[in-house]
């Protein structure tokens, strides 16, 4: 009997589907690849659909995957899933995202000279036309694909677990990629050195260094405490306070809704000017976003309407990019790091929102960016393994003991752990709990301080005392 295929690459799955002119359903594909877990196969198929290498037809148990080129039924909506770049693949001469016909039309319009584009102001009707959980900028088929693609091993754990598990990687990726979209010239390696070692890159403007560090602080703020990762006006304003630190011409504008009119360079769009109206609409936008149940729709809504309103004097796009990660943090989904998003595509997409109130090109950017982010973190997901049951059971107690030992400047020794043993730890679990604490203390460094609510200086001080003793 021949050995069943292992589906080591997407090509194996495509070839298997191509052998059936009518396509294959999930059950048939699971039977064809018995060695591959069903969830892994679902994630792989979602990526293939986004890449337009296969097409999903039908719904429910009758759904099947077919290879484009075979006789297929039309898609149930006008939206076609978008292709994504494989890791290591070359971009076109002008780096851009794969673009839908609607997105291409927006791109063509905003690439015209400014004098050919119609000047516009803030259109309240654009916001009023949106009804949370009724209106959808992202079609249902696309949201379903993104949910499969974004699943993490921490799906059943408390909110924020996955983001904390990959925090060190996320700090570097998101800080670098989001800053790069603002024209920051730090390389990813420079960013890693700055965040991990506090080493600023030579020859870089101090404002660029500050921008990276501001991102790091804002991400730590969101990930460090799940309660902070909530969609409230206070949270969004706090993000602005972190991201704008030391970068505003007027320091009073940091962490504060704008009090004056602003313009947008390169655009014919003029944002709302009246401060009272800005404040009122800011509250409405955040409230509407909080009502949206689907995390992907919620994230995209924030990417559309926060920059469109321009609630702050500057740093609005950065705020929207980090705020868009709040739903992913809360639902333990793969984060949106904006890795490899071409700056020009992002600018064009926002101009389409500003000047046309059309979201299709920004949707193209969002889908491509999220697929690329998931590709970045898939190896991290695979290497994480299954969560330790003891660690999950006593997660809060574990953190409390680590914090207590560090702040008391006690040694990483079993006697110190036993002296602080929480009463909630069952007798039969105490030996294992003590071993877990010692593992955490051994791996502790300043970059992980936020996971325990500690300051980096506290951890550095404790490590120095440990080396001296």
Query: Is residue 329 domain-shared with residue 402, that is, in the same domain?
Result: no
- The one-digit pLDDT tens for each residue of the chain (469 residues) are 343 344 456 788 888 888 776 778 888 788 778 778 887 788 788 878 877 788 887 766 667 888 876 443 333 333 333 333 333 333 334 578 899 999 999 999 999 999 999 999 999 999 999 999 999 999 999 999 999 888 876 666 666 677 777 788 889 999 999 999 999 999 999 999 999 888 999 999 899 999 999 999 999 999 887 677 789 999 999 999 999 999 998 999 999 999 999 999 899 999 999 999 999 999 999 999 999 999 999 999 999 999 999 999 999 999 999 999 999 998 888 899 999 899 999 999 999 999 999 999 999 999 999 988 887 775 555 554 444 667 777 888 888 999 999 999 999 888 889 999 999 988 888 888 888 888 889 888 887 787 788 888 899 899 988 888 7
Query: Which H or E element spans position 45?
Result: helix 38-50
The Cα–Cα gap between 322 and 240 comes to 10
Query: Is residue 26 domain-shared with residue 167, that is, in the same domain?
Result: no
**Considering the domain boundaries, does residue 75 fall inside one?**
no
The Cα–Cα gap between 459 and 171 comes to 18
The Cα–Cα gap between 106 and 354 comes to 11
The Cα–Cα gap between 14 and 7 comes to 10
Q: How many domains does the chain have?
A: 3
What pLDDT does 71 receive? 41
Query: Is residue 399 domain-shared with residue 380, that is, in the same domain?
Result: no
- DSSP string of 354-409? HHH---HHHHHHHHHHHHHHHHHHHHHHHHH-SPPHHHHHTHHHHHHHHHHHHHTT
∠ Cα 58 59 62 (to 5°): 75
**Considering the domain boundaries, does residue 132 fall inside one?**
yes
Query: Is residue 282 domain-shared with residue 399, that is, in the same domain?
Result: no
**Considering the domain boundaries, does residue 356 fall inside one?**
yes
What pLDDT does 90 receive? 37
Where does a domain end: 384, 418, 447?
384
Taking phi first (over 0 means left), then psi (-120 to 50 degrees means alpha), and beta for anything else, what does residue 51 get?
alpha
**Considering the domain boundaries, does residue 287 fall inside one?**
yes
**Considering the domain boundaries, does residue 81 fall inside one?**
no
Query: Is residue 397 domain-shared with residue 360, that is, in the same domain?
Result: no
Query: Is residue 172 domain-shared with residue 111, that is, in the same domain?
Result: yes
Query: Is residue 358 domain-shared with residue 418, that is, in the same domain?
Result: no
Residue 138 near residue 298 (C-beta atoms within 8 A): no
- DSSP string of 95-130? ------HHHHHHHHHHTS-GGGS--EE--HHHHHT-
Where does a domain end: 339, 361, 384?
384
CATH number, domain with residue 168: 1.10.3290.10
**Considering the domain boundaries, does residue 355 fall inside one?**
yes
Query: Is residue 58 domain-shared with residue 126, that is, in the same domain?
Result: no
Q: The tokens of 100 are what?
A: 């839908």
Query: Is residue 316 domain-shared with residue 446, that is, in the same domain?
Result: no
- Per the listing, tokens 């001296």 go with 468
**Considering the domain boundaries, does residue 73 fall inside one?**
no
Where does a domain end: 334, 363, 384?
384
Query: Is residue 128 domain-shared with residue 277, that is, in the same domain?
Result: yes
**Considering the domain boundaries, does residue 94 fall inside one?**
no
Rg (CA), the chain: 24
The residues pairing with 120 across neighbouring beta strands, listed in sequence order, are 269
What pLDDT does 388 receive? 61
Q: Domain of 436? A: 389-468
The residues pairing with 270 across neighbouring beta strands, listed in sequence order, are 121
User: In 3D, which of 250, 252, 251, 274 has the Cα closest to residue 262?
Assistant: 274
Query: Is residue 160 domain-shared with residue 129, that is, in the same domain?
Result: yes
Query: Is residue 294 domain-shared with residue 157, that is, in the same domain?
Result: yes
The Cα–Cα gap between 60 and 17 comes to 18
CATH number, domain with residue 19: 1.10.10
**Is the C-alpha dihedral spanning 58, 59, 64, 65 positive or negative?**
positive
User: In 3D, which of 263, 262, 326, 315 has the Cα closest to residue 289?
Assistant: 326
What pLDDT does 439 receive? 82
């Amino acid at each position: 009997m021949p050995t069943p295929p292992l589906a080591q690459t997407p090509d194996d799955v495509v070839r298997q589907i191509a052998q059936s002119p009518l396509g294959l359903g999930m059950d048939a594909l699971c039977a064809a690849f018995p060695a591959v877990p069903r969830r892994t196969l679902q994630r792989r198929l979602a990526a293939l659909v986004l890449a337009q290498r296969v097409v999903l037809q039908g719904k429910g148990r009758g759904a099947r995957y077919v290879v484009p080129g075979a006789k297929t039924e039309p898609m149930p909506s006008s939206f076609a899933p978008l292709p994504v770049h494989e890791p290591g693949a070359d971009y076109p001469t002008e780096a851009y995202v794969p673009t839908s016909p609607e997105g291409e039309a927006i791109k063509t319009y905003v690439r015209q000279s400014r004098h050919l584009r119609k000047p516009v102001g803030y259109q309240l009707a654009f916001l009023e036309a949106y009804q949370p959980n009724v209106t959808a900028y992202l079609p249902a088929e696309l949201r379903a694909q993104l949910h499969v693609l974004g699943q993490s091993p921490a799906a059943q754990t408390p909110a924020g677990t996955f983001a904390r598990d990959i925090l060190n990687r996320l700090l570097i990726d998101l800080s670098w990629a989001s800053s790069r979209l603002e024209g920051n010239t730090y390389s990813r390696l420079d960013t890693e050195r700055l965040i991990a070692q506090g080493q600023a890159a030579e020859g870089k403007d101090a404002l660029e260094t500050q921008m990276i560090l501001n991102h790091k602080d804002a991400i730590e703020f969101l990930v460090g405490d799940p309660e902070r990762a909530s969609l409230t006006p206070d949270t969004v304003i706090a993000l602005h306070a972190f991201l704008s630190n030391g970068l505003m011409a007027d320091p009073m504008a940091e962490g504060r809704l704008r009090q004056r009119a602003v313009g947008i360079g390169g655009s014919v769009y003029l944002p709302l000017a009246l401060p009272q109206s800005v404040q009122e609409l800011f509250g409405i936008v955040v409230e509407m976003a909080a009502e949206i149940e689907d995390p992907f729709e919620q994230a995209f809504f924030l990417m559309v309407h926060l920059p469109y309103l321009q609630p702050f004097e500057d740093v609005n796009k950065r705020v929207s990019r980090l705020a868009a990660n709040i739903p992913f943090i809360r639902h333990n989904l793969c984060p949106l790091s904006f890795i490899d998003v071409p700056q020009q595509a992002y600018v064009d997409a926002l101009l389409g929102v500003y000047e046309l109130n059309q979201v299709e090109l920004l949707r193209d950017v969002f889908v491509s960016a999220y697929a690329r982010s998931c590709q970045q973190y898939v190896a991290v997901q695979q290497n994480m393994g299954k969560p330790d049951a003891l660690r999950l059971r006593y997660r809060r107690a574990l953190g409390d003991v680590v914090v207590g030992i560090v702040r008391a400047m006690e040694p990483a020794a079993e006697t110190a752990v036993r002296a602080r043993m929480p009463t909630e730890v069952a007798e039969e679990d105490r030996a294992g709990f003590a071993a877990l604490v010692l593992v955490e203390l051994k791996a502790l460094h300043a970059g992980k301080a936020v996971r325990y609510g500690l300051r980096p200086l506290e951890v550095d001080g404790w490590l120095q005392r440990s080396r001296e003793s």
